[in-house]
Amino acid sequence: MVITLEPGIGQHVVDEVCRIAARLDGVEPRIHRFEGATSTVTEVHLVGHTERIPPEVFEGIPGVRGVVRVSSTYRLIGRHGEGESVGFEYNGVRFGDDELLIFAGLCAVDTREHVDLMCKGLVEHGIVTTRMGAYKPRTSPYAFQGLGAECLPWVFEIAGKHGIKVISMEVTSPAQVQEIQIALRESGDATGVMLQIGTRNAQNFELLKEVGQQQEFPVLFKRGMGITLEESLNACEYIAASGNGRIAFCLRGVKSHLGEPHRNLVDFAHVPVLRRQTRLPVCIDPSHSVGRMFRDPDGVADVYHATGQGLISGASMVLVDFHPCRDKALCDGPQALTIPELPGYLAYARRVRAAWLDIREAAASA
């Protein structure tokens, strides 16, 4: 059972809820605060035998906004009816329904020059968020595995020099979180990092607990490619249950030959499902969904169309592969857009986002 309090409510209401809960047998109250970019929501979760407790016991308390029985097991990331999505802030960047964030960048870091050209291009177009893979989980052990910890000092330095605020960077083992932390400190916190959990590690529970136990970095959780959405949501809950609530959920397509000729079957019809079921900002990765640079008869790339499909459905973040010289990319060059395409891509994304904002406003006033 989840008891949601009015935003900004005082501790006395929390105390009152807990006092009443203490009188009930076999029930333990747990207090959760969701510190968002714009407001803080407090919930008291009653764990245990709550089946027989009538909601009225708590509904009458001044300052209690609502009481819901929760059937989903992902209770921390879950939205619970009308509970709001408060978003979060990290290194001066706001994440949430009201912001559009484009994390465009290199699938895998290769050279300083490419990192420099990428960051420069982004900041020139008003983008301070990027993706830079240092640790690459590859299908073949003989494929390029990423430059690892060795590239972190110069990646952070170059990004910081250009004014990049957040780099989405995949981690595949707990030790890499520490490597990032150390390199970032040594760079004088030149930039910020969002820890990316790749689809292959969506159920790597030890890794999820590690990124959940640290409080410094937000986490971008990518859905598992071959498990149900429900299983991905439960896996994502591990991060929140371990103490870190700053999470964004990323759709990236699912594994199925039915998606061919695309790399994966694009699953962006799940954007509204995630917005309904969770309080997390929803990200889409059109690059790893589509996987190649196909174009429609008008010359518009399938990656654009997939981006549009996610944004028109309410996604507020996009993770997208760009490369200054895609023929030389060591990983996923064929799916990357190029720097000259950046302004056109951003204009496209912003137009679709504007259409979505209109749709949302019309729905709210209907």
Q: Which residues bind Mn ion (CB under 5 A)?
A: 107, 332
Q: Which stretch binds ligand PEP (CB under 6 A): 5-13, 14-22, 36-44, 192-200?
A: 192-200
The size of the interface with ligand PEP (CB under 6 A), counted in residues, is: 10
Which CB, 86 or 306, lies closer to Mn ion?
306
| Nearest by Cα to 88 from 104, 75, 101 | 101
Residue 198 contacts ligand PEP per CB under 6 A: yes
d(CA 211, CA 219): 7
Which CB, 120 or 200, lies closer to ligand PEP?
200
Binder of residue 198, out of ligand PEP, Mn ion, none (CB less than 5 to 8 A by kind): ligand PEP
Tokens found for residue 2 = 């989840």
Angle at CA of residue 171, ends 267 and 313, nearest 5°: 25
Binder of residue 209, out of ligand PEP, Mn ion, none (CB less than 5 to 8 A by kind): none
Which residues, 69 to 108, sit near ligand PEP by CB under 6 A?
107
Q: Which residue is nearest to ligand PEP (CB)?
A: 198
**CB within 8 Å of 60: residues ≥ 6 apart:** none
- Pairing type for strands 193-197 and 64-68 reads unpaired
Other beta carbons within 10 Å of 273: 15
Binder of residue 43, out of Mn ion, ligand PEP, none (CB less than 5 to 8 A by kind): none
CA R_g for the chain: 21
Q: Label residues 172-183 b or e (16+ Cβ within 10 Å = b).
A: beeebbebbeeb
Residue 133 contacts ligand PEP per CB under 6 A: yes
Which CB, 244 or 264, lies closer to Mn ion?
264
Return the amino acid letter for 10. Answer: G
Residue 170 contacts ligand PEP per CB under 6 A: yes
Contacting residues toward ligand PEP, per CB under 6 A? 107, 133, 170, 198-200, 222, 252, 285, 288
